[in-house]
Chains A and B, each alone.
Chain A
Amino acid sequence: MNFAEDKSIYLQIAEKIEDAILSGAFEEESQIPSTTEFSVNYKINPATALKGISLLVDDGIVYKKRGLGMFVCPGAKEVILSKREKDFFDRFIRTLLNEAKKLSMSKADIIAMIERGYGNEQNRN
Protein backbone atom coordinates (compact mmCIF):
# COMPACT_ATOMS: atom_id res chain seq x y z
CA MET A 1 0.00 0.00 0.00
CA ASN A 2 1.25 3.44 -0.85
CA PHE A 3 0.32 5.86 1.89
CA ALA A 4 1.90 8.76 0.00
CA GLU A 5 -1.30 8.73 -2.04
CA ASP A 6 -3.47 11.80 -1.49
CA LYS A 7 -6.10 9.94 0.44
CA SER A 8 -6.59 9.20 4.11
CA ILE A 9 -5.21 5.87 5.24
CA TYR A 10 -8.56 4.63 6.57
CA LEU A 11 -10.11 5.19 3.13
CA GLN A 12 -7.27 3.26 1.53
CA ILE A 13 -7.81 0.35 3.93
CA ALA A 14 -11.53 0.30 3.14
CA GLU A 15 -10.72 0.32 -0.56
CA LYS A 16 -8.19 -2.53 -0.18
CA ILE A 17 -10.84 -4.67 1.46
CA GLU A 18 -13.36 -3.77 -1.22
CA ASP A 19 -10.83 -4.73 -3.90
CA ALA A 20 -10.28 -8.06 -2.15
CA ILE A 21 -14.04 -8.68 -2.12
CA LEU A 22 -14.38 -7.72 -5.80
CA SER A 23 -11.53 -10.03 -6.78
CA GLY A 24 -13.09 -12.89 -4.84
CA ALA A 25 -10.23 -13.14 -2.35
CA PHE A 26 -12.77 -12.41 0.42
CA GLU A 27 -15.96 -14.23 -0.54
CA GLU A 28 -19.44 -13.23 0.57
CA GLU A 29 -20.33 -14.68 3.98
CA SER A 30 -16.66 -15.48 4.64
CA GLN A 31 -14.60 -14.02 7.47
CA ILE A 32 -12.15 -11.19 6.82
CA PRO A 33 -8.96 -10.60 8.87
CA SER A 34 -9.36 -8.77 12.19
CA THR A 35 -8.67 -5.08 12.77
CA THR A 36 -5.47 -6.07 14.56
CA GLU A 37 -4.31 -8.17 11.61
CA PHE A 38 -4.91 -5.25 9.25
CA SER A 39 -3.16 -2.74 11.49
CA VAL A 40 -0.15 -4.99 12.13
CA ASN A 41 0.18 -5.99 8.50
CA TYR A 42 -0.01 -2.44 7.15
CA LYS A 43 1.74 -0.88 10.18
CA ILE A 44 -1.10 1.51 10.92
CA ASN A 45 -2.70 2.63 14.15
CA PRO A 46 -5.47 0.22 15.24
CA ALA A 47 -7.94 3.12 15.46
CA THR A 48 -7.28 3.93 11.79
CA ALA A 49 -7.91 0.33 10.73
CA LEU A 50 -11.10 0.29 12.80
CA LYS A 51 -12.27 3.51 11.15
CA GLY A 52 -11.76 1.97 7.69
CA ILE A 53 -13.67 -1.18 8.61
CA SER A 54 -16.47 0.82 10.27
CA LEU A 55 -16.93 2.63 6.98
CA LEU A 56 -17.58 -0.73 5.30
CA VAL A 57 -20.01 -1.70 8.07
CA ASP A 58 -21.95 1.54 7.47
CA ASP A 59 -22.07 0.80 3.74
CA GLY A 60 -23.43 -2.70 4.30
CA ILE A 61 -20.32 -4.38 2.91
CA VAL A 62 -19.12 -6.22 6.03
CA TYR A 63 -20.87 -7.05 9.29
CA LYS A 64 -19.86 -8.10 12.74
CA LYS A 65 -20.69 -11.51 14.17
CA ARG A 66 -20.54 -11.14 17.91
CA GLY A 67 -17.54 -12.93 19.37
CA LEU A 68 -16.42 -14.25 15.98
CA GLY A 69 -15.25 -11.30 13.91
CA MET A 70 -16.03 -9.50 10.70
CA PHE A 71 -17.77 -11.16 7.74
CA VAL A 72 -18.54 -10.13 4.18
CA CYS A 73 -22.24 -9.28 3.70
CA PRO A 74 -24.24 -11.24 1.16
CA GLY A 75 -24.60 -8.97 -1.87
CA ALA A 76 -21.50 -6.97 -0.91
CA LYS A 77 -20.06 -7.25 -4.41
CA GLU A 78 -23.17 -5.63 -5.88
CA VAL A 79 -22.96 -2.77 -3.36
CA ILE A 80 -19.29 -2.12 -4.13
CA LEU A 81 -19.84 -2.27 -7.89
CA SER A 82 -22.62 0.31 -7.87
CA LYS A 83 -20.63 2.55 -5.53
CA ARG A 84 -17.51 2.32 -7.69
CA GLU A 85 -19.50 3.03 -10.86
CA LYS A 86 -20.79 6.19 -9.26
CA ASP A 87 -17.22 7.22 -8.34
CA PHE A 88 -15.84 6.30 -11.75
CA PHE A 89 -16.46 9.69 -13.33
CA ASP A 90 -14.80 11.65 -10.52
CA ARG A 91 -11.91 9.28 -9.95
CA PHE A 92 -10.94 8.48 -13.52
CA ILE A 93 -12.67 10.60 -16.14
CA ARG A 94 -12.11 13.92 -14.41
CA THR A 95 -8.45 13.07 -13.69
CA LEU A 96 -8.03 11.87 -17.26
CA LEU A 97 -9.40 15.11 -18.67
CA ASN A 98 -7.23 17.23 -16.33
CA GLU A 99 -4.08 15.39 -17.36
CA ALA A 100 -5.05 15.53 -21.05
CA LYS A 101 -5.53 19.29 -20.76
CA LYS A 102 -2.06 19.62 -19.23
CA LEU A 103 -0.60 17.70 -22.16
CA SER A 104 -2.75 19.61 -24.71
CA MET A 105 -4.25 16.38 -25.99
CA SER A 106 -7.41 16.62 -28.05
CA LYS A 107 -10.67 14.80 -27.47
CA ALA A 108 -10.00 12.75 -30.63
CA ASP A 109 -6.55 11.73 -29.25
CA ILE A 110 -8.11 10.45 -26.06
CA ILE A 111 -10.89 8.57 -27.80
CA ALA A 112 -8.33 6.97 -30.13
CA MET A 113 -6.32 5.87 -27.09
CA ILE A 114 -9.38 4.36 -25.44
CA GLU A 115 -10.13 2.48 -28.66
CA ARG A 116 -6.53 1.26 -28.71
CA GLY A 117 -6.85 0.14 -25.10
CA TYR A 118 -9.92 -1.93 -25.93
CA GLY A 119 -8.08 -3.34 -28.96
CA ASN A 120 -5.18 -4.54 -26.78
CA GLU A 121 -7.65 -6.17 -24.41
CA GLN A 122 -9.25 -8.12 -27.24
CA ASN A 123 -5.90 -9.26 -28.61
CA ARG A 124 -4.99 -10.59 -25.20
CA ASN A 125 -8.22 -12.56 -24.88
Chain B
Amino acid sequence: MSKIEIKSITKTFGEIAALKEVSVTFEENHIYGLLGRNGAGKTTLLNLLTGKLFPDSGEILIDGERALENDRALSKMYCMTELNLYPEKMRVKEAFRWSAEFYPDFNTEYANSLCEKFELKTNLKIRNLSTGYHSIFKIIIALSCGTEIVIFDEPVLGLDANHRELFYKELIQNFSDAPRTFILSTHLIEEIASIIDRVVIIKNGKIIMDDEVQNVISMGFSVSGSADAVDEYIKRKRVLGFDTLGNFKSAYLLGKSDDVPSSLEVGKLELQKLFIQLTNA
Protein backbone atom coordinates (compact mmCIF):
# COMPACT_ATOMS: atom_id res chain seq x y z
CA MET B 1 0.00 0.00 0.00
CA SER B 2 1.47 3.30 -1.04
CA LYS B 3 0.46 6.90 -0.97
CA ILE B 4 1.78 9.92 -2.79
CA GLU B 5 2.00 13.35 -1.20
CA ILE B 6 2.68 16.29 -3.45
CA LYS B 7 3.64 19.34 -1.44
CA SER B 8 3.59 22.81 -2.86
CA ILE B 9 5.15 21.95 -6.21
CA THR B 10 6.01 24.69 -8.69
CA LYS B 11 7.38 24.00 -12.16
CA THR B 12 8.10 26.60 -14.80
CA PHE B 13 9.21 26.22 -18.41
CA GLY B 14 10.94 29.48 -19.30
CA GLU B 15 8.39 32.17 -18.61
CA ILE B 16 5.48 29.80 -18.32
CA ALA B 17 4.45 28.37 -14.94
CA ALA B 18 3.08 24.90 -15.72
CA LEU B 19 2.28 24.17 -12.08
CA LYS B 20 1.86 26.75 -9.33
CA GLU B 21 2.19 25.68 -5.69
CA VAL B 22 0.32 22.45 -6.28
CA SER B 23 -0.45 20.27 -3.26
CA VAL B 24 -2.41 17.04 -3.52
CA THR B 25 -2.37 13.61 -1.89
CA PHE B 26 -3.16 10.35 -3.64
CA GLU B 27 -4.26 7.84 -1.01
CA GLU B 28 -4.05 4.07 -1.32
CA ASN B 29 -7.10 1.96 -2.21
CA HIS B 30 -8.66 4.50 -4.52
CA ILE B 31 -9.14 4.89 -8.24
CA TYR B 32 -8.45 8.54 -9.02
CA GLY B 33 -9.48 10.50 -12.05
CA LEU B 34 -6.91 13.18 -12.88
CA LEU B 35 -8.73 15.59 -15.15
CA GLY B 36 -7.78 18.77 -16.90
CA ARG B 37 -8.03 20.41 -20.28
CA ASN B 38 -5.19 20.26 -22.79
CA GLY B 39 -2.24 22.19 -21.38
CA ALA B 40 -3.66 22.34 -17.85
CA GLY B 41 -0.56 20.68 -16.36
CA LYS B 42 -1.58 17.02 -16.02
CA THR B 43 1.35 15.56 -17.89
CA THR B 44 3.80 17.90 -16.16
CA LEU B 45 2.45 16.67 -12.83
CA LEU B 46 2.83 13.03 -13.90
CA ASN B 47 6.36 13.65 -15.19
CA LEU B 48 7.31 15.22 -11.86
CA LEU B 49 5.76 12.30 -10.00
CA THR B 50 7.75 9.75 -11.92
CA GLY B 51 11.00 11.69 -11.71
CA LYS B 52 11.21 12.56 -15.41
CA LEU B 53 11.18 16.25 -14.47
CA PHE B 54 12.52 18.07 -11.43
CA PRO B 55 10.35 20.65 -9.66
CA ASP B 56 11.56 24.25 -9.16
CA SER B 57 10.31 24.08 -5.59
CA GLY B 58 8.24 21.84 -3.36
CA GLU B 59 8.58 18.11 -2.81
CA ILE B 60 7.00 14.76 -3.58
CA LEU B 61 6.83 12.05 -0.95
CA ILE B 62 6.02 8.39 -1.55
CA ASP B 63 5.10 6.70 1.73
CA GLY B 64 6.82 9.58 3.49
CA GLU B 65 10.08 9.24 1.53
CA ARG B 66 11.31 11.88 -0.87
CA ALA B 67 10.78 10.57 -4.40
CA LEU B 68 13.45 12.66 -6.12
CA GLU B 69 16.27 10.41 -7.37
CA ASN B 70 15.14 7.74 -4.94
CA ASP B 71 14.97 4.39 -6.73
CA ARG B 72 13.23 2.62 -3.90
CA ALA B 73 10.42 5.16 -3.83
CA LEU B 74 10.15 5.37 -7.62
CA SER B 75 10.04 1.59 -8.05
CA LYS B 76 6.69 1.55 -6.21
CA MET B 77 5.17 3.37 -9.13
CA TYR B 78 4.48 2.56 -12.78
CA CYS B 79 3.39 5.21 -15.23
CA MET B 80 1.90 4.31 -18.58
CA THR B 81 2.58 7.34 -20.74
CA GLU B 82 1.60 8.42 -24.21
CA LEU B 83 5.21 8.13 -25.33
CA ASN B 84 6.72 4.85 -26.34
CA LEU B 85 9.67 4.09 -24.10
CA TYR B 86 10.48 0.70 -25.59
CA PRO B 87 12.93 0.10 -28.44
CA GLU B 88 10.98 -0.06 -31.69
CA LYS B 89 12.52 -3.32 -32.82
CA MET B 90 11.66 -5.12 -29.61
CA ARG B 91 8.93 -7.75 -29.76
CA VAL B 92 5.98 -7.68 -27.35
CA LYS B 93 7.09 -10.80 -25.50
CA GLU B 94 10.63 -9.42 -25.17
CA ALA B 95 9.18 -6.24 -23.70
CA PHE B 96 7.43 -8.40 -21.09
CA ARG B 97 10.68 -10.15 -20.21
CA TRP B 98 12.41 -6.79 -19.98
CA SER B 99 9.63 -5.33 -17.80
CA ALA B 100 9.94 -8.32 -15.46
CA GLU B 101 13.62 -7.40 -14.94
CA PHE B 102 12.71 -3.91 -13.79
CA TYR B 103 9.51 -4.75 -11.91
CA PRO B 104 10.03 -7.83 -9.73
CA ASP B 105 6.28 -8.28 -9.24
CA PHE B 106 5.56 -8.23 -12.98
CA ASN B 107 3.11 -11.06 -13.69
CA THR B 108 4.01 -12.55 -17.10
CA GLU B 109 1.29 -15.19 -16.97
CA TYR B 110 -1.34 -12.50 -16.39
CA ALA B 111 0.16 -10.33 -19.16
CA ASN B 112 -0.12 -13.26 -21.59
CA SER B 113 -3.72 -13.93 -20.58
CA LEU B 114 -4.53 -10.25 -21.25
CA CYS B 115 -2.85 -10.54 -24.67
CA GLU B 116 -5.22 -13.40 -25.48
CA LYS B 117 -8.26 -11.40 -24.37
CA PHE B 118 -7.19 -8.36 -26.39
CA GLU B 119 -5.93 -10.58 -29.25
CA LEU B 120 -2.48 -9.02 -29.18
CA LYS B 121 0.12 -11.30 -30.81
CA THR B 122 3.19 -11.38 -28.58
CA ASN B 123 5.68 -12.07 -31.38
CA LEU B 124 4.88 -8.76 -33.11
CA LYS B 125 7.46 -6.01 -33.10
CA ILE B 126 6.42 -2.91 -31.17
CA ARG B 127 6.96 -0.65 -34.20
CA ASN B 128 4.48 -2.75 -36.20
CA LEU B 129 1.62 -2.23 -33.74
CA SER B 130 -1.30 -0.02 -34.78
CA THR B 131 -2.17 3.00 -32.60
CA GLY B 132 -4.86 1.02 -30.82
CA TYR B 133 -2.67 -2.04 -30.22
CA HIS B 134 0.14 0.22 -29.09
CA SER B 135 -2.16 1.50 -26.33
CA ILE B 136 -3.22 -2.08 -25.56
CA PHE B 137 0.41 -3.15 -25.29
CA LYS B 138 1.08 -0.37 -22.77
CA ILE B 139 -2.15 -1.04 -20.87
CA ILE B 140 -1.16 -4.70 -20.46
CA ILE B 141 2.26 -3.80 -19.05
CA ALA B 142 0.69 -1.28 -16.66
CA LEU B 143 -1.90 -3.81 -15.44
CA SER B 144 0.72 -6.54 -15.05
CA CYS B 145 3.61 -4.62 -13.47
CA GLY B 146 2.42 -5.24 -9.92
CA THR B 147 3.50 -1.89 -8.45
CA GLU B 148 1.59 -0.27 -5.59
CA ILE B 149 0.85 2.82 -7.68
CA VAL B 150 -0.19 2.61 -11.32
CA ILE B 151 -0.75 5.69 -13.43
CA PHE B 152 -2.62 5.47 -16.73
CA ASP B 153 -2.05 8.51 -18.96
CA GLU B 154 -4.65 8.58 -21.76
CA PRO B 155 -4.92 4.76 -21.66
CA VAL B 156 -7.64 4.31 -24.28
CA LEU B 157 -6.08 6.34 -27.10
CA GLY B 158 -7.12 4.72 -30.38
CA LEU B 159 -9.02 1.86 -28.72
CA ASP B 160 -12.34 0.79 -30.23
CA ALA B 161 -15.46 0.58 -28.04
CA ASN B 162 -15.06 -3.18 -27.45
CA HIS B 163 -11.46 -2.83 -26.30
CA ARG B 164 -12.28 0.17 -24.09
CA GLU B 165 -15.01 -1.85 -22.41
CA LEU B 166 -12.61 -4.77 -21.94
CA PHE B 167 -9.96 -2.43 -20.50
CA TYR B 168 -12.34 -0.88 -17.95
CA LYS B 169 -13.52 -4.31 -16.84
CA GLU B 170 -9.99 -5.68 -16.50
CA LEU B 171 -8.98 -2.54 -14.61
CA ILE B 172 -11.76 -3.02 -12.05
CA GLN B 173 -11.09 -6.76 -11.76
CA ASN B 174 -7.38 -6.03 -11.26
CA PHE B 175 -8.11 -3.37 -8.63
CA SER B 176 -10.57 -5.66 -6.79
CA ASP B 177 -8.06 -8.51 -6.73
CA ALA B 178 -5.27 -6.27 -5.40
CA PRO B 179 -6.46 -2.85 -4.23
CA ARG B 180 -3.74 -0.25 -4.80
CA THR B 181 -3.53 3.32 -6.01
CA PHE B 182 -4.73 3.79 -9.55
CA ILE B 183 -4.63 7.17 -11.27
CA LEU B 184 -6.47 7.60 -14.57
CA SER B 185 -5.67 10.68 -16.57
CA THR B 186 -8.06 10.98 -19.48
CA HIS B 187 -10.30 13.28 -21.49
CA LEU B 188 -13.06 10.67 -21.71
CA ILE B 189 -14.71 11.73 -18.47
CA GLU B 190 -18.08 10.15 -19.08
CA GLU B 191 -16.51 6.74 -19.55
CA ILE B 192 -14.63 6.78 -16.26
CA ALA B 193 -17.13 8.75 -14.16
CA SER B 194 -18.56 5.63 -12.52
CA ILE B 195 -15.19 3.85 -12.24
CA ILE B 196 -13.22 6.45 -10.30
CA ASP B 197 -14.12 7.22 -6.71
CA ARG B 198 -12.03 10.37 -6.31
CA VAL B 199 -11.48 13.21 -8.73
CA VAL B 200 -8.66 15.74 -9.02
CA ILE B 201 -9.15 18.59 -11.49
CA ILE B 202 -6.28 20.79 -12.67
CA LYS B 203 -6.84 24.15 -14.33
CA ASN B 204 -4.07 26.52 -15.41
CA GLY B 205 -1.49 24.75 -13.23
CA LYS B 206 -3.63 24.75 -10.09
CA ILE B 207 -5.76 22.11 -8.41
CA ILE B 208 -9.33 23.40 -8.47
CA MET B 209 -10.99 20.26 -7.13
CA ASP B 210 -9.90 17.27 -5.06
CA ASP B 211 -12.80 15.29 -3.64
CA GLU B 212 -14.88 12.12 -3.69
CA VAL B 213 -16.94 11.80 -6.88
CA GLN B 214 -20.05 11.17 -4.78
CA ASN B 215 -19.51 14.48 -2.93
CA VAL B 216 -18.80 16.35 -6.12
CA ILE B 217 -21.94 15.32 -7.97
CA SER B 218 -24.14 15.85 -4.93
CA MET B 219 -22.77 19.39 -4.58
CA GLY B 220 -25.28 20.66 -7.08
CA PHE B 221 -27.92 19.97 -9.69
CA SER B 222 -29.24 21.17 -13.01
CA VAL B 223 -32.54 22.85 -13.85
CA SER B 224 -34.01 23.27 -17.28
CA GLY B 225 -37.05 24.88 -18.80
CA SER B 226 -38.00 28.15 -20.47
CA ALA B 227 -35.26 30.77 -20.28
CA ASP B 228 -37.48 33.19 -18.31
CA ALA B 229 -38.40 30.62 -15.68
CA VAL B 230 -34.77 29.45 -15.35
CA ASP B 231 -33.47 33.03 -15.07
CA GLU B 232 -36.06 33.83 -12.43
CA TYR B 233 -35.15 30.77 -10.38
CA ILE B 234 -31.39 31.22 -10.51
CA LYS B 235 -31.39 34.80 -9.18
CA ARG B 236 -29.28 34.84 -6.02
CA LYS B 237 -28.10 31.24 -6.61
CA ARG B 238 -24.57 29.98 -7.12
CA VAL B 239 -24.57 29.28 -10.83
CA LEU B 240 -21.76 27.32 -12.49
CA GLY B 241 -22.92 27.85 -16.04
CA PHE B 242 -25.62 27.51 -18.68
CA ASP B 243 -26.56 25.76 -21.88
CA THR B 244 -29.09 27.51 -24.07
CA LEU B 245 -30.96 26.16 -27.04
CA GLY B 246 -33.31 28.86 -28.35
CA ASN B 247 -35.60 29.70 -25.47
CA PHE B 248 -34.79 26.44 -23.68
CA LYS B 249 -32.21 26.89 -21.00
CA SER B 250 -30.35 24.62 -18.61
CA ALA B 251 -28.44 25.98 -15.64
CA TYR B 252 -25.92 24.16 -13.46
CA LEU B 253 -26.08 25.21 -9.84
CA LEU B 254 -24.46 24.52 -6.52
CA GLY B 255 -26.68 23.78 -3.54
CA LYS B 256 -29.88 21.85 -2.89
CA SER B 257 -32.75 21.47 -5.33
CA ASP B 258 -35.62 21.46 -2.80
CA ASP B 259 -37.06 24.86 -3.79
CA VAL B 260 -37.28 24.32 -7.56
CA PRO B 261 -40.73 25.29 -8.95
CA SER B 262 -42.61 22.50 -10.72
CA SER B 263 -42.35 24.34 -14.06
CA LEU B 264 -38.66 23.40 -14.18
CA GLU B 265 -37.06 19.98 -14.66
CA VAL B 266 -34.47 19.03 -12.06
CA GLY B 267 -31.55 16.86 -13.11
CA LYS B 268 -28.38 15.39 -11.70
CA LEU B 269 -25.11 17.26 -12.00
CA GLU B 270 -22.93 15.05 -14.16
CA LEU B 271 -19.18 14.94 -13.67
CA GLN B 272 -18.48 15.82 -17.29
CA LYS B 273 -20.91 18.78 -17.28
CA LEU B 274 -19.42 19.99 -14.03
CA PHE B 275 -15.92 19.63 -15.46
CA ILE B 276 -16.82 21.63 -18.57
CA GLN B 277 -18.40 24.40 -16.51
CA LEU B 278 -15.50 24.58 -14.07
CA THR B 279 -12.75 24.56 -16.68
CA ASN B 280 -14.24 26.85 -19.32
CA ALA B 281 -11.97 29.83 -19.77
Using a CB–CB cutoff of 8 Å, the interface residues on chain A facing chain B are 3-4, 6-9, 35-36, 39-48, 98, 101
CB atoms of B165 and A45 under 8 A apart: no
Using a CB–CB cutoff of 8 Å, the interface residues on chain B facing chain A are 31, 165, 168-169, 172-173, 175-177, 179, 193-197, 213-214, 262, 266-268, 270
Q: Which residues of A contact B268 (CB under 8 A)?
A: 6-7
Known: A6-B267, A8-B214, A45-B31. A39 touches B197 (CB 8 A): no
Choose among B179, B194, B266, B267 the residue that contacts A44 (Cβ–Cβ < 8 A): B194
CA distance A44 to B196 in the complex (A): 8
CB atoms of B196 and A45 under 8 A apart: yes
CB atoms of B176 and A40 under 8 A apart: yes
CB atoms of A43 and B194 under 8 A apart: yes
CA distance A76 to B17 in the complex (A): 59
CB atoms of B194 and A45 under 8 A apart: yes
CA distance A9 to B192 in the complex (A): 13
14 new A-B contacts at CB < 8 Å, known A6-B266, A43-B194: A7-B268, A35-B176, A36-B172, A40-B169, A40-B173, A40-B176, A42-B194, A43-B169, A43-B195, A44-B194, A45-B172, A45-B196, A46-B179, A47-B197
Q: Which residues of B contact A9 (CB under 8 A)?
A: 194
CA distance A47 to B197 in the complex (A): 8
Q: Which residues of A contact B195 (CB under 8 A)?
A: 43-45
Instruction: Please name 11 pairs of A and B residues whose Cβ atoms are closer than 8 Å in the assembled complex, sorted by A.
Output: A3-B193, A3-B194, A6-B267, A8-B214, A36-B177, A39-B172, A44-B172, A45-B172, A45-B195, A45-B197, A46-B176
CA distance A27 to B165 in the complex (A): 30
Summarize B's interface: helix, strand, loop or mixed.
Answer: mixed
Q: Which residues of B contact A8 (CB under 8 A)?
A: 214
CA distance A3 to B192 in the complex (A): 12
CA distance A47 to B172 in the complex (A): 11
Q: Which residue of B lies closest to A9 (CB)?
A: B194
CA distance A8 to B216 in the complex (A): 12
Q: Which residue of A lies closest to B167 (CB)?
A: A43
Q: Which residues of A contact B176 (CB under 8 A)?
A: 35-36, 39-40, 46
CA distance A44 to B8 in the complex (A): 32
CA distance A47 to B31 in the complex (A): 10
CB atoms of A36 and B173 under 8 A apart: yes
Distance from B233 Cβ to chain A, minimum over Cβ atoms (Å): 17
Q: Which residues of A contact B169 (CB under 8 A)?
A: 40-41, 43
Known: A3-B194, A48-B194. A43 touches B172 (CB 8 A): yes
Q: Which residue of B lies closest to A101 (CB)?
A: B262
CA distance A69 to B173 in the complex (A): 17
CA distance A41 to B166 in the complex (A): 10
Q: Which residues of A contact B177 (CB under 8 A)?
A: 36
Q: Which residues of A contact B194 (CB under 8 A)?
A: 3, 9, 42-45, 48
CB atoms of A48 and B197 under 8 A apart: yes
CA distance A103 to B193 in the complex (A): 34
Distance from A37 Cβ to chain B, minimum over Cβ atoms (Å): 9
Q: Which residue of B lies closest to A46 (CB)?
A: B176
Distance from B220 Cβ to chain A, minimum over Cβ atoms (Å): 13
CA distance A3 to B189 in the complex (A): 14
CA distance A101 to B263 in the complex (A): 10
Distance from A18 Cβ to chain B, minimum over Cβ atoms (Å): 20
Q: Which residues of B contact A98 (CB under 8 A)?
A: 262
Q: Which residue of A lies closest to B29 (CB)?
A: A47
